[in-house]
Structure 1
């Protein structure tokens, strides 16, 4: 530092234009502390969470997983065994059983206040897209959505204009809020050791919303977002009955079935099959599983 100051002083003596000496700090892996918000259902970890964990691990530093729900112990144990997870926070309460964002967001904020996370990551699924913007708003920071690559701890790549352009975004916020495109990252696998677990911090559980119920479409076919083969249909199928042709073909090929927004809007199939910007992002033939 002394040598730098002396060089600037000497430059002033010989008539060179000088600038104020600025000190820059660079983040190291030891400075990075990431919270992974785990999505799960029926004691199974959502595939998008496994891809999000890979993205979180790419940041460097430690990764703490937050598992919340009604009796989440089975999922918490499975998450603790994943490669890249340093610690698991477990919130066991019926309030978190249905993933309502009004209750999840305060829980994530409470974890942030206690453990000072620099990054918060979730899959770019309906779950993640519902919760993470609320967290960003409560922290008064910008969210970076649907990232497809991590260039550094503060620089990320994401598609814009419905995927017609790719943007590289640098965030100067103290806390980075990220959702991850599942098809852009490999799924995390089991590691060689088990991470420690501890109770998540207490948070406000009051909510203006009430859980009433849900209609779940179940299928033995591969999950659309992670399928290596997809059979798609659109308005040209004419009606929902003709989609049976696609179902039979998909079952023969071991593929998933998808549909365009036009087919969904026409009522041919359920919106869980919709592909695209307002549906599910797919990468058949290059599925990151």
Structure 2
């Protein structure tokens, strides 16, 4: 289907559903949150994601909960879990031990990140004196330890700590050259920003897959806080004005907006999408449905 054919279709009716998806979860803090997460897993599993990732808190604060969540996914589902692992506040020996535990638990996919420092460090990253200095070193260390499949982070509008987009692309290339399989991008809301980034990545010699990170808006005020270097367009501000107090209408607007972003990416050749679910199934499921994806018969959590 050509770009013009995709964009000329009424809403999303002509999309053939030939996309691949993955979903990100975070480890629950309570029994109620664990129940909500598992309900989300059960709802999204029939969409047959390529993998599902579980995040890792700043400074390793969710280490045990992340491991427990990933271990449960391995034991109780057919999903392919990817465990996040960071360089923050851990020595190489500690990270080796964590990597061994994941390998022994049957985990074969790691999302390797430099990681965010805990708030007590003033937001500035400082390597552990006996640890990995950056994500590229972490990737190299993990690959030497076990033959993990490794995903890394990409930033279409640049990492907040990067001195330039070009320097950020150089860092991405180092991570991939160190042995990573793919990159997963930070969320964004501008297709122009994505395609500019994609072109620059190709020009920099980056040929590994880069999955666009899609964040359906569950709370617009929270999106503002999390945006970092991500531009929030004026039209988006207008679209969500007054909706944080109206979750029903906000959800409808959010799903259609996320699907339209994906539709435009699809028209540009993108077929793989990574959804930041925030442990809620409804918006990600609705977006995938609008893109033509349907449950796979017999595929359950």
Larger radius of gyration: 1
Give the alignment's TM-score, normalised by structure 1: 0.27
Q: Larger RCO: Structure 1 or Structure 2 (Cα < 8 Å, ≥ 6 residues apart)?
A: 2
TM-score calculated relative to the size of structure 2: 0.26
Query: In proportion to residue count, which structure has more helix?
Result: 2
